[in-house]
Amino acid sequence: MTALSPHVIDEIRELPARFPQPRSAVMPALDLAQEELGHLTPDAMTEVAAALNLDAGYVEGVATFYSLFHMQPIGKHRFYVCTNLSCTLRGANELVDHLRKAIGVSEPGEVSKDGLFSYEGVECLGACEYAPMARLDHRYHYDLTVEKVDSLIEERRNPRPHLTSPQGGEGPAPPAHPAPHPHLTSPQGGEGLAPKPRKPRAPRKKKADG
């Protein structure tokens, strides 16, 4: 019996065609496997390696290097809070403290008693202009406040079917697999909409001589 479903295996096999090097497909492939199982088992990593025709040791090395991949069960919904400099200067640490209390955990990776939530602090997610920000499942959320965090938690504790996508987001579903990975994706993947571009300033008018 395989760890991954035939459908996911087929998706993983299609990934190398999208990249210049087969190894570039490892992270999105692991993301697919984790999305299906909730975490990465040894069998799942072996199957990912076989589907990509790569060495199993290399795949495991990638999985254990990045904090966004988990070897143990985690919450159904995962907060990845950016704790890099820009977000920290704009209150990321306070948001993490509030998040821990709100979901009832004391450390990264711990699962809430209801099994719904866990969180991790991660490095830059590529949206410094919109700090503080976080990824929740496969959605990016910008300019976060404690009120916004509470709202995100409440929406997942008491989901409204007509507003919730099959992949856990609010509003329109995220793009089809492979799901965006924070290390590979720009901020344009966030909250279903791209950030609003800043309007260029109009050139100053020159004063008339005399």
Angle at CA of residue 171, ends 27 and 190, nearest 5°: 40
**pLDDT tens digits for 51-68?**
999 999 999 999 999 877
d(CA 206, CA 197): 27
**pLDDT tens digits for 122-131?**
888 888 999 9
The domains located in the chain, with CATH, are 6-65 (1.10.10), 77-161+176-192 (3.40.30.10)
Helices 56-65, 26-37: inter-axial angle, 10-degree rounding? 70
Lowest-confidence pick of 18-22, 33-37, 64-68, 166-170: 166-170
pLDDT of residue 2: 85
Angle at CA of residue 22, ends 17 and 28, nearest 5°: 80
129: nearest Cα among 61, 173, 82: 82
d(CA 201, CA 34): 44
> Which residues lie closer than 8 Å to 22 by C-beta, 6 or more apart?
16, 52, 53, 54
pTM over cut 0.85: no
- pLDDT band per the 50, 70, 90 thresholds, residue 187: very low
